[in-house]
Each structure stands twice: as structure tokens, then as C-alpha cells.
């Protein structure tokens, strides 16, 4: 249907004429550009092409599903032809008439769907429901005469257009009960249950009515796409929706088009396919009047219809995310060239086919292969949207100026973290190919796709617990927008969401109650954000981590001892230079180690279950430390040690926690819990438990 290479078959002039002469700078600009590309690729050319909706009846293409009622025009009157009803195949494109004497392709049938559930389509051509039976089809066919011609906009066109008599005559024929009965009986006979397109074909001589550029002189019967007044009536019906909606009766005036910069009649209540601009809003401004909305929101006719045509491409750019949809709309930060249009178009068509990458990563991928197409101009709009009703969406996060720059930078930092000595098959923190944020084997592009997705934060952060509905306060969505826009994320909020997620995943009844890999994912992310300068912290806090590859060598050149490994881990973390944080981390590590020991001895209750992270605070951390140290002393005695097991951790805990009264600490609770959890992950993951003292 949509061909990714369709634009390559068009001449450059045609494409260039459809492109704006300045870069995309607003969501409406974007909609308009996507809509124009869609119309170009879909062959919706000419004056009326962009108003048609060929995809609505796409399933009928190639099928005998076009019901045609034939009428003859003569002397400003309309009469049913003999044997008026035919069912013919509906085709994509045809160069001449069929044996039935008409050209039943999409540009001649000229279907323009009306999205609303009620009412007839904008065009006289109408699409039935999918499960209609013959009687319903009879109704649809009859309504081409009894209903469509009497619609308000069609009545207005009847009085304005030179060929308005045709619309009047159709209306009049609709009042002829005998004629309508003939139509109904014939249609009921030739249709069966299923979906059909219903239209009217006209037989006339010479210049009885003005025709369009689609007129086929060889045809005996002419479909609505060939008759100007029918097309104009369709256009009027469709544009009426741009000016009249809800409270607005006529939101139009002589203004300036927000997209085209042209002075023309502009409309104020043009449908937004992304439902960000809705005409019925709880606005609290004095003197607010929807009929005057064109003064600040004005779109001209061409831009308005282009925006409507963007729907297919806009929808295709959605990525699923928890409870919401995240849209990635790529564009170039430059006046689009024919080459840009082709790149963008083929990316968008591929998105409609449902590929795994988001539209931005996909387009970036393409640009890599083509020298001379600098990706630094690649931008995108990110919108995280909750679709709480079919036509009511809530925008939860928005970044109009997303660039791949920050994503690539973050991707690199994340990869660096996983490839650093902090992560590995045997620790200190685990790598796991099956975990999205712990898979070191990915390439840069795959990482770009990961870090720009909502899933990047949805994996590591808990949703806010006080609200069941998705909310714009939800850090998972805000953080995604921040990353692609290059804005720093508040570290305190992030750690708090991390801690909530760990608590949520903690399962005391499980054999492995502590979500160690979740913490490792968080740690890789926190490190990447800090190292990529995307974390906002207060002046004396620094979460950056040394992720260089240099391995610490030991004095004797052998494997580093457990103490050396711990020292190196701590040294690489700037945050752990703080004594209190270091103490908390060591306490966590000790809890992790002891739990591992306890598990090896088949003890039912482990330290990690006894001291869950959401119960740790400044007020009880000393108490917990004392209990854990006591337990370790007891186990050491049981094992027959002269000293204690894990002496290196014992020292750290004592130095860090018992120096100052924790009630006087500056350490924020979320920060404390996070580093405690990181310690547990570290301790649990250390497999060198066979040598408890390893000094």
C-alpha cells in the first residue's frame, strides 16, 4: 500500500513544491510536513487529492465492493438510468474506463471519510460499516440522494456554485419515493453482508457541468472525482469542521496561517491528530471566545488539511510504554530538501510496518550509511501521551527539540559503565544479556534506541504511588523527555524513584528476595547520567564514576584481593568519598555477604530479609549496623576464625557509621537507601565467599 520508495518515482519539482521553505519549528509544522509527505507518496495530488482518504477503504481494493447508482443529467435535471445499480471492482489506480464505462479507482471514486461515528462521509461516496447486511446497504445507497445533498455545507455549496443545480437535483431525486425504492430494491439484491463503498455515477453530454482534472472523456459514466461541484461540496463539508466545533460556530477570519505564514482565511478549531489542541477546554481567561480562536491559532486551509493527512504517519511513530504512548517524530533542523523528504518519508513508511526501532533511531541508522547527510540536524519531537478516551489525550511529557546528541552521549556512557571493571560476569555488579540495561553486547545504535525510550526509565523507576492514572509528575516520562532535550534530571527525585522500585521488587518470600539485577541496572543508568552530565545535584554531591578500563594491579601481580577490589570500587565512585555514604554502602555489602553465607548454610532468615531497604533510615542505621556486625561475629566464631569474616567491610561500617550520630547526617533518605541497596547488590554478587577473610 504505502511504498517506502514512492517519492523516488516523483520528479524533484513536484516534491519541492510540497515542501515548506523553512525548517519545522512547531508541532503543527510537523503535522503539516508529514501530511504533505503522505499525500505525495499516496498520490493524493491535485486540488482535491489531499482531501481524500483512500486508506479508509483500503481493504476493499481489488474487491467487487463498489456500489454505483447511475444517473443521467439532462437539462438541469437528474434521472435514474435504466437498470441504475451496478457493483464493480474498486481499484487502486486505472488509466482508462472498464467495461462498465467508468474508472472505479480511488481518485475518481473520491472517498473522503468523516471520522465521526455519526453522520455520512464528507464525499457523496460513502463507506458502509464492516458488517452491514443488504438492507443496510440499500439505506446507504439511498442516502446518497436523501441525506448527503441536504447536509448544511452541501446546501451552501448549492447556492454558491454555478453547478449548484446538480446538488439541488440530487436532493430532489431523493424526494422521489418510487425512484428511491427502485434503488433500494436493486442494491439489496446485489449486495451481501460486509463492507461496501457506495457512490453515484453521472452520465452527461458536453459541458453540462464543470469537471475536474480527473475527468476521463472516454468514460460513459463519470464518478464524483470528475465533477467539480461534488468535489467542492466535499471540501466545504470537510473545512466546515475547521471552523465549527463544540462551542465554536464560526471560528474563522482573515488572518495569518501559523504554518504557511500566508495571509488568508484561517480557521481556529482545526482538529489536532495528536489531540493536544482541543477546542473544548477548561480555559480560565477573561473574554475567552472559541469563535475568536483563529486570531491566535489560525491555520489556513492547506495547512489544516495537511495536518489531517498526517494521522497515518503520526500514529506509526508511537512506541508502547507503560499506560501511555510515546511518540517520536523525527525532522531536520533545516529547510527540508528533496533528499530529506525522501529519507523522512521512507522512515515513516517503515514505521507503519511496525519495526522495532523508534523512528529516530531508525532514521539515524539510515543517515549513517549516507555520507554528507549530517545527523547533527536530525531533531525530533517527543510526546508522551495518555489516551484516556478515544479523542481525549493527555500530554504528560513533551520535548520539541530532541536531538540524538544527548542520546548518543548517554548511550556511550552507559556502554562505558557496563564495559568498566564495575560490571562483569563475576562482578562486582552483574552483566546480563537478557536484561535491557545490562547487555554489554549492543552496538551504539541499539543503545541509542534503548536510552531514548520510555522503557529506559520505566525499568528502573517506580511509578508515583499516590495516583493510579498516568501523570505528568511521573518521573519516568519527565526523565525521558529531559534526556532527549539535554536537560538535567533531579538526582534526588531519581534516587527516590529507584528506591521505590527496589522496594516494589523486593520479595521476602522468594529464595532470592533482593532484586540485585534491578539495582545493577539502576547503577549503570545513574553512572551514565552522571558521567553524561545529565544529572542535577546539589553542589557537594557528585555521582560521577571512573569507568576507565585500567585494572588495578596488585603488588604481587596476581588477582586483586577482596579488599583491593572493594577499595577500587569505592575509589571509582566519587559519591563514596563521603564517609557516611561509604559506611552505608559497606553496611549493605556486609548484609549482602552475610546473606550469601546464611543461604549457603540453609538458614531460613537472611540479613537482607531482616533489614529491607525501605526500612533503613538515619534513625535506625546504627542499630542495624550493630545487629549485622554482631551476627557476623557470631558466624565467624562458628566458622572458627580468630578474627572476623569480611573484616574489610566491618572496618568500613565502623568508620563510616559510628563516627557521627546519624541523626546529624546530611544524607538524604533516598540517597542512603540507594547506596545501602547498591552495597547489598555488591555483597550478594561477590562470589568469593569460600575465603571469608581473603586478606
Partner 1 sequence: MQTELTEHETAEQSDGESRERSARTPPDRCLSLTVEGPWGHFRRVDGNTIKATYRLPPRTTVAGLLAAVAGYERDGYYDVFDRDRSGIAVQPVASGDDASETASIPRTMNLPENSLTTSNEGMKAVNARGKVSVRYPDPQADRQRVNYEVLVEPAYRLDVWLADDAAYDRLHDRLADGRSEYVPSLGLSEFLASVTFHGEFSPEQLSESDDPVAVESALPAPDGIVPSSDHPHGTERSPGDMTTTERSGEFTGRKTTEYLRWAYSRDGTALKATGVDAMRVDGRTVVFS
- Catalog residues that contact partner 1 under the rule CB under 8 A: 22-23, 25-29, 253, 255-256, 258, 261, 263, 272, 274-278, 281-289, 292, 294-298, 333, 335, 374, 376-377, 393-396, 398, 400-401, 403, 405, 472-473, 485-488, 536
CB of 293 to partner 1, least distance (A): 9
Nearer to partner 1, 360 or 621 (CB): 360
CA 105 to chain centre: 33
Task: Give backbone dihedrals phi and psi of 570, rounded to 5 degrees, phi first.
Answer: -65, -45
CA distances from 390 to 247, 283, 328, 384, 394 (A): 20, 21, 20, 16, 11
The candidate with the shortest Cα–Cα distance to 515, out of 618, 653, 523, is 523
User: Which residue, 194 or 485, is less far from partner 1 as judged by CB?
Assistant: 485
- Where do we find the cell 552496538? 443
Gap between the Cα atoms of 671 and 582, Å rounded: 11
Closest distance of CB 336 from partner 1, Å: 14
Contact criterion met (CB below 8 Å) for 279 and 293: yes
Nearer to partner 1, 195 or 256 (CB): 256
The grid coordinates listed for 685 are 554478587
For the bound state, the minimum distance from the C-beta of residue 467 to partner 1, rounded and expressed in Å, comes to 11
The residue (of 403 and 522) whose beta carbon lies closer to partner 1 is 403
CB 570 within 8 A of CB 422: no
Whole-number minimum distance, CB 645 to partner 1, in Å?
48
What does the alpha-carbon distance between residue 446 and residue 32 come to, in Å, rounded to a whole number? 30
Residue 56 near residue 111, CB atoms below 8 Å: yes
Q: Which is nearer to partner 1, 313 or 635 (CB)?
A: 313
**Nearer of residues 190 and 536 to partner 1, judged by Cβ:** 536
Nearest to partner 1 of 297, 531 (CB atom): 297
Nearer to partner 1, 25 or 150 (CB): 25
Cβ 201 to partner 1 shortest distance, Å: 43
Cβ burial 375-390 (10 Å sphere, 16+ → b, else e): beebbbbbbbbbeeee
Q: Are 299 and 264 in contact (CB under 8 A)?
A: no
Q: What is the DSSP letter of 154?
A: H
Nearest one of 658, 419, 452 to 548, comparing CA atoms: 419
In this structure, the chain runs to a length of 695
Name the strand (E) or helix (H) holding 331.
strand 324-332
- Buried b vs exposed e over 111-123: b needs ≥16 C-beta within 10 Å? bbbbeeeeebbbb
Identity of the residue, 349 or 383, whose beta carbon is nearer to partner 1 in the bound complex: 383
Q: What gap in Å lies between CA 153 and CA 234, rounded to an integer?
A: 8
Shortest approach of partner 1 to residue 288 CB, angstroms?
A: 7
Residue (85 or 266) nearer to partner 1, CB? 266
Helices within 217-374 (DSSP H only): 228-243, 294-297, 301-309, 311-316, 338-352, 359-369
Q: Which is nearer to partner 1, 336 or 427 (CB)?
A: 336
Nearest to 86 by CA among 67, 102, 109: 67
**Least gap, CB of 262 to partner 1 (angstroms):** 11
Q: CB 25 → partner 1: shortest distance, Å?
A: 4
CB of 371 to partner 1, least distance (A): 16
By beta-carbon proximity to partner 1, the closer residue of 381 and 625 is 381
Q: How far is the CB of 478 from partner 1 (least distance, A)?
A: 8
Taking alpha carbons only, the member of 21, 24, 54 closest to residue 344 is 24
Asked whether the beta carbons of 355 and 40 are under 8 A apart, the reply is no
Q: What is the DSSP letter of 8?
A: G
Q: How far is the CB of 147 from partner 1 (least distance, A)?
A: 34
320 burial level (CB within 10 Å; 0-12, 13-18, 19+): exposed
Q: Cell 491566535 appears where? A: 296
The DSSP secondary structure of 478-528, one letter per residue, reads HHHHHHHHTPPEEHHHHHHHHHHHHHHH--TTSSS-S-HHHHHHHHHHHHH
Three-class SS of residue 610?
Answer: helix
Q: 317, 330, 411: which is closest to 375 by C-alpha?
A: 330
How far CA 667 is from CA of 451, 500, 565, 674, in Å, comes to 29, 17, 25, 11
Comparison of 47 and 289: residue with beta carbon closer to partner 1: 289
Q: Which residues pair with 202 in a beta bridge?
A: 71, 222
Shortest Cβ distance from residue 425 to partner 1 (Å)? 35
Rounded (5°) CA angle 132-135-137: 55
User: Would you say 299 or 566 has its CB closer to partner 1?
Assistant: 299
Residue 114 C-beta: closest distance to partner 1, Å: 23
Q: Smallest gap, in angstroms, from Cβ of residue 668 to partner 1?
A: 19
Least distance from partner 1 to the Cβ atom of residue 295, Å: 4
Residue (114 or 327) nearer to partner 1, CB: 327
d(CA 405, CA 383): 18
Instruction: Name the residue nearer to partner 1 (CB basis): 372 or 558.
Output: 372
| CB closer to partner 1 out of 277 and 597 | 277
Q: At its nearest, how many Å lie between partner 1 and the CB of residue 20?
A: 11
What's the closest the beta carbon of residue 281 comes to partner 1, in angstroms? 5
Amino acid at each position: 500500500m504505502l511504498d517506502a520508495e514512492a517519492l523516488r518515482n516523483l520528479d524533484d519539482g513536484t516534491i519541492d513544491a510540497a515542501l515548506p521553505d523553512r525548517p519545522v519549528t512547531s508541532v503543527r509544522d510537523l503535522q503539516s510536513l508529514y501530511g504533505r509527505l503522505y499525500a505525495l507518496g499516496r498520490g493524493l495530488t491535485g486540488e482535491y487529492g489531499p482531501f481524500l482518504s483512500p486508506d479508509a477503504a483500503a481493504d476493499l481494493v481489488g474487491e467487487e465492493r463498489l456500489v454505483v447508482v447511475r444517473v443521467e443529467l439532462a437539462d438541469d435535471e437528474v434521472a435514474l438510468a435504466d437498470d441504475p445499480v451496478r457493483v464493480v471492482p474498486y481499484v487502486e489506480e486505472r488509466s482508462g474506463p472498464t467495461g462498465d464505462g467508468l474508472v472505479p479507482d480511488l481518485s475518481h471514486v473520491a472517498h473522503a471519510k468523516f471520522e465521526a461515528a455519526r453522520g455520512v462521509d464528507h464525499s457523496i461516496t460513502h463507506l458502509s460499516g464492516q458488517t452491514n447486511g443488504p438492507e443496510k446497504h440499500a439505506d446507504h445507497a439511498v442516502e446518497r440522494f436523501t441525506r448527503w445533498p441536504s447536509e448544511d455545507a452541501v446546501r451552501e455549496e448549492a447556492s454558491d456554485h454555478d453547478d449548484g443545480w446538480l446538488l439541488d437535483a440530487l436532493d430532489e431525486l431523493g424526494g422521489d419515493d418510487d425512484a428511491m425504492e427502485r434503488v433500494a430494491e436493486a442494491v439489496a439484491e446485489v449486495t451481501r453482508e460486509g463492507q461496501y463503498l457506495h457512490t453515484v455515477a453521472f452520465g452527461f453530454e458536453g459541458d453540462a457541468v464543470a469537471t475536474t482534472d480527473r475527468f476521463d472523456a472516454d468514460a460513459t459514466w463519470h464518478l464524483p472525482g470528475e465533477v467539480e461541484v461534488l468535489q467542492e461540496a466535499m471540501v466545504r463539508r470537510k473545512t466546515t469542521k475547521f471552523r465549527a466545533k463544540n462551542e465554536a460556530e464560526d471560528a474563522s477570519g482573515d488572518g495569518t496561517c501559523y504554518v504557511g505564514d500566508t495571509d488568508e482565511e484561517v480557521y481556529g478549531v482545526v482538529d489536532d491528530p495528536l489531540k493536544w489542541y482541543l477546542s473544548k477546554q477548561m480555559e480560565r481567561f477573561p473574554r475567552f471566545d472559541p469563535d475568536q480562536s483563529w486570531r491566535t491559532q489560525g491555520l489556513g486551509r492547506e495547512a489544516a488539511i495537511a495536518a489531517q493527512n498526517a494521522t497515518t504517519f503520526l500514529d506509526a511513530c508511537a512506541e508502547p510504554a507503560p499506560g501511555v504512548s510515546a511518540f517520536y517524530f523525527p525532522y531536520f533542523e533545516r529547510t527540508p530538501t528533496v533528499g530529506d523528504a525522501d529519507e523522512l518519508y521512507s522512515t515513516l513508511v517503515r514505521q507503519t510496518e511496525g519495526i522495532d526501532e523508534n523512528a529516530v533511531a531508525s532514521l539515524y541508522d539510515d543517515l549513517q550509511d549516507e555520507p554528507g547527510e549530517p545527523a547533527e540536524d536530525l531533531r525530533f519531537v517527543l510526546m508522551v501521551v495518555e489516551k484516556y478516551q478515544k479523542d481525549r489525550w493527555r500530554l504528560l511529557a513533551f520535548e520539541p527539540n530532541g536531538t540524538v546528541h544527548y542520546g548518543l552521549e548517554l548511550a556511550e556512557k552507559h556502554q562505558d559503565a557496563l564495559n568498566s571493571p564495575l560490571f562483569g560476569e563475576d562482578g562486582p555488579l552483574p552483566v546480563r544479556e537478557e536484561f535491557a540495561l545490562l547487555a554489554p553486547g549492543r552496538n551504539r545504535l541499539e543503545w541509542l534506541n534503548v536510552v531514548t525510550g520510555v522503557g529506559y526509565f520505566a525499568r528502573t523507576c517506580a511509578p508515583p504511588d499516590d495516583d493510579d492514572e498516568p501523570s505528568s509528575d511521573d518521573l519516568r516520562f519527565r526523565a525521558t523527555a529531559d534526556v532527549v532535550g539535554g536537560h538535567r534530571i533531579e538526582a534526588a527525585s531519581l534516587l527516590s524513584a529507584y528506591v521505590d522500585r527496589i522496594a516494589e521488587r523486593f520479595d521476602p518470600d522468594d529464595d532470592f528476595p533482593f532484586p540485585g539485577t534491578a539495582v545493577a541496572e539502576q547503577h549503570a543508568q545513574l553512572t551514565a547520567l552522571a558521567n553524561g552530565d545529565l544529572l542535577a545535584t546539589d553542589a557537594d554531591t557528585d555521582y560521577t564514576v571512573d569507568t576507565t578500563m585500567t585494572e588495578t594491579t596488585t603488588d604481587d601481580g596476581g588477582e586483586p584481593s577482596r579488599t583491593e577490589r572493594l577499595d577500587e570500587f569505592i575509589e571509582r565512585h566519587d559519591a563514596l568519598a563521603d564517609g557516611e555514604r561509604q559506611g552505608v554502602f559497606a553496611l549493605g555489602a556486609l548484609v549482602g555477604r552475610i546473606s550469601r553465607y546464611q543461604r549457603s548454610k540453609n538458614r531460613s532468615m537472611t540479613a537482607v530479609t531482616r533489614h529491607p531497604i525501605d526500612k533503613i533510615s538515619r534513625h535506625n542505621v546504627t542499630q542495624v549496623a550493630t545487629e549485622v556486625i554482631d551476627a557476623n561475629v557470631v558466624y565467624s566464631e562458628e566458622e572458627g576464625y580468630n578474627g572476623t569474616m569480611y573484616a574489610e567491610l566491618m572496618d568500613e561500617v565502623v568508620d563510616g557509621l559510628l563516627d557521627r550520630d546519624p541523626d546529624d547526617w546530611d544524607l538524604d533518605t533516598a540517597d542512603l537507601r540507594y547506596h545501602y541497596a547498591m552495597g547489598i547488590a555488591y555483597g550478594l554478587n561477590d562470589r568469593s565467599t569460600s575465603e571469608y577473610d581473603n586478606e
